[in-house]
Every structure is written in C-alpha cells, then in structure tokens.
Chains A and B, each alone.
Chain A
Amino acid sequence: MSRSPRTSIRDGATQREIDAAMAAADRVGPPDPHHPNRDYPPYRSSALRHPRHAPLPVVDPEAVELTGPVFGVTDVSALDNDLTLGQTGEPAGQRITVTGRVLDRTGRPMAGQLVEIWQANAAGRYAHDLDQHPAPLDPNFTGFGRCLTDGDGEYSFTSIRPGAYPWRNHLNAWRPAHIHFSLFGTAFTQRMVTQMYFPGDPLFPYDPVLRSVTDQAARDRLVARYDHQLSLPEWTLGYRWDIVLGGPSRTLFEDR
C-alpha cells in the first residue's frame, strides 16, 4: 500500500505550490532510489495512474522475462537514425548529434539493441494532433528515429535540438528540452522508456517529471554531456549520453 498520505494538487496550481510539493516529495524519497516514484503528486496525472500496492517482487524470474524480443537489420532503415532527412527540405533549428553506449549493469556493452527516439521540433511542438499549443509545426521534421547499437553498444542519431514546451500540469508549466528514448535490453525485465535532457537547462528545478527522480545523482544520469569532439565544423553540435539498463537478464545470471 502507498506509504505517503494522499495528497493531491489542485487544478490550476501555481509553480509555488508545485515547488512545495516537490520539496515534500524530496524528503520522502522513492521506494527505489534509482527510479521515479510512481506516486508523485506534483506530476498531477500520476494521481490516478499509480498502483497503491507495491509491485510484487519476483526474485527468481522465469525464462519468459529473462528473454525478450529481438530486432535486426530488417527492423531499421539506413535513414532511420537521421531525423533531419526524409523530407523535402531541412528542418528548422540547431542540428545535433546524440550518441552514447547502451550498457548492462556490469558495464558490458549491449550490441544489436534497438533504440527508438521521439521528440518535439525546434519550436517545442510534436507532430501529434493532440499537441495543439500555438507553436509552428515543421513540415520537414517528423521527430522520430530508430537505430541498432553497434558492436560496442553504441547508438548515434542526428537530429534537431528540441524546444522546451508548455503543458497543463500547473500554471506556467514548461517541460525542459528532452528527447524520449525507448530501449529493450536482452531481457523483458530490462525494458526501459526514459527521457534525455540537455546540460544546464534553466527549467530543471521547475519540472515535476525530471524531479520525480528525487536523488540528484540519479537525476544527473538523465542529462547528456556536451562533447566538443563530437561536434562537426559548420554542421552539428555533439552530445554524449550513456544508458545503463537495470533488471536481471540471463547474461547477468550466467555471471554469478
């Protein structure tokens, strides 16, 4: 059952009210220090969408969850990792390269992994009919990509730096710029959906989604690092972001 008293944040709450709720949640901390608390009142949509029962621990998972779907060369196209291609013109905004390695918790690179990303355009608008905030759509940017990691577990995308965007969690709520990531691992227990942020974003302290990860060190692991070596002259700015997939897998068990 839930450990915290039922608190709910009113519709139309101010940033100050959200700040107070975030500070209160920081004091409680999540049940799992590595991950967000699913019961996080400052993110108002979580109120009715988190289980009240603690998840049932399965210490000896079955082979079903210690394996997972596999993907191969037919599951990606050569252009899939460049979100600036495929339309008639160049998308608006700052071209970026985002690259990094996918690792398991022993630090071993995970090769041949499907990485999927999606993001808003440079103006902070998603190519989704339900995103109706008054920023321009970009006909040259659809905003999603896929790739497979190479033998060193490395993925790489060329894209556009996404804009921050407003949302209706509270008055004057703005999401810091981010790219959504989806990863699989070698076991279904390692399945992961997360968001990558850009270093030094002034919106970090105000955002309940990022701050649902209450541990500062864990939160820092969601922030990419600017890497000048990755930047290409007169072309793109480089960001590096490594991803570590948790959860047991067959390969981890074989190590024991």
Chain B
Amino acid sequence: MTPPAHPSPADPDRLPPTPAQTVGPFFGYALPFPGGARIAVDGEPDPITVHGLVLDGAGSPIPDALVEIWQADRDGSLAGAPGSLRHDQVTSAVVGRDGTAFTGFGRVPTDADGHWAVRTVAPGPHRPGAVPYLAVAVFARGLLHHLHTRIYLPEHAEGLRAQFPDLPEGRLGTLLAQRERAGVYRFDIRLQGERETVFFDFP
C-alpha cells in the first residue's frame, strides 16, 4: 500500500522520497504547452535564443526528450510569476503566458530531429557576485530519472571555472553555451559518451 508516509529507517527524521520513473514516450500531448519556449516577456529589449540538440551515447539526436528551464530575470530576481500555463476560461484550453509577467519557466519537447530552442533573457546575478546561469531539467524516454544541468553564457566562463575548480576543462566546457551570432547561443545536451554533459545531483 501507499505508505501513509512513514519515516525512513536510515534517516528517521525524514520521509523517504517517492522514486522517479521515466517520462516515457507519450508525454507530448500532456506536458508541452503553447508558448512554452517563449520565456522572455513581450517588448523585452534584449532577448536571447538558446537552442541545441539532445544527443544519446551514439551521437544520435533524441526526438522524445523534454527540456525544462528555470531561471532568474535579467535583474537576478527569482520571483517568477505564475501564469505559464494560463487557461482560456471559456474552453479550458491552455493558451500559455500573457507576455506581461516574467514566469522564469520554459518547457520544450525536442523535435523529430532532437532539437529544442527557447527565447529568453540573459539571467542576472541572483545575489551580488553570483555567476548567473539557466537551470535545466532533462527528461526522456529511456531516461529513468531526469537529469539536472546548467547553461552558462560564454561571458561567464571565468566565473564558471572558479565555481568548479576541480572539473577538467573538457568537462567544464559542456556547461558553456557557444555564441553563434548576436543573441543566439548553442547548447547541446549529451546524455552519454564523448563530451557527455556535466549533470548535477542535489543530495
């Protein structure tokens, strides 16, 4: 039965968490929503596009992955507003955010070619001196427990290096978006293999 949740024997003060399971192949009609990729508010003077592929250990694109972004606003504020999944009150259909308030949340499924893209704003430092980044959660068929990573923009390469002094340069580079042209950054997520992305665990 479902535990009327009881403490874990190993850690008596804490309830054991519910285990994760894969998102499976059929999330596409349930989780993605209109405007899920449009994190920047309307009239944002300096929007950026962050995009890339999700790749498997053979270097093949993954067409059934879901990428979620959570980030600070350009001023570093983490007070993301509700309303990412705003509903139409007549039809109950999800119409997405209204473009006035920054919700900080993006959700995009990969295309048939494993590609994803979001239109957002470069996050500001979330505390004085902090190195800003976009927090990422990756879900996919075949991935039993989702993964967390971070996207650092190239201008923060030094800050990133200082934050993870023990990471070899090659691994560190997987956390760094590449500037393709003004306002467009490339960030591939490699679940396995050469240049495997650095993923984080929050114990």
Contacts and interface: CB of A to CB of B under 8 A. Distances in A.
A123 interface: no
A43 interface: yes
A50 interface: yes
Interface residues of B, number: 79
Contacts, number: 265
Contacts of A35: 17, 19-20, 144-145
B144 A70 contact: no
Interface string A42-75: 0101111111111111110111110111111111
Interface string A229-256: 0000000000011111111100000000
B2 A77 contact: no
Contacts of A218: 16, 19
Nearest to A197: B21
A94 B171 CA distance: 51
Given A71-B84, A195-B21, A242 B27 contact: no
A154 interface: no
Secondary structure type dominating chain B contacts: loop
Contacts of B1: 199, 220, 223, 225
Contacts of B70: 64-65, 67-69, 188
> By CB atoms of chain B within 10 A, which of A49, A51, A143, A241 has the most?
A49
B145 A127 contact: no
B141 A45 contact: yes
B17 A246 contact: yes
B196 A245 contact: no
B21 A193 contact: yes
The 5 closest A-B pairs by CB, nearest first: A246-B17, A45-B142, A72-B82, A118-B30, A69-B105
25 contacts: A33-B10, A36-B19, A46-B142, A47-B142, A48-B142, A51-B147, A51-B196, A53-B171, A53-B198, A53-B199, A69-B104, A74-B86, A77-B87, A106-B13, A114-B85, A116-B30, A117-B30, A130-B26, A192-B20, A193-B139, A213-B19, A221-B16, A222-B19, A246-B17, A248-B202
Given A71-B84, A80-B87, 19 more contacts: A34-B16, A35-B19, A35-B145, A51-B191, A52-B192, A53-B171, A53-B199, A64-B70, A72-B83, A75-B86, A105-B15, A118-B27, A194-B19, A195-B21, A195-B22, A218-B16, A220-B3, A221-B3, A222-B19
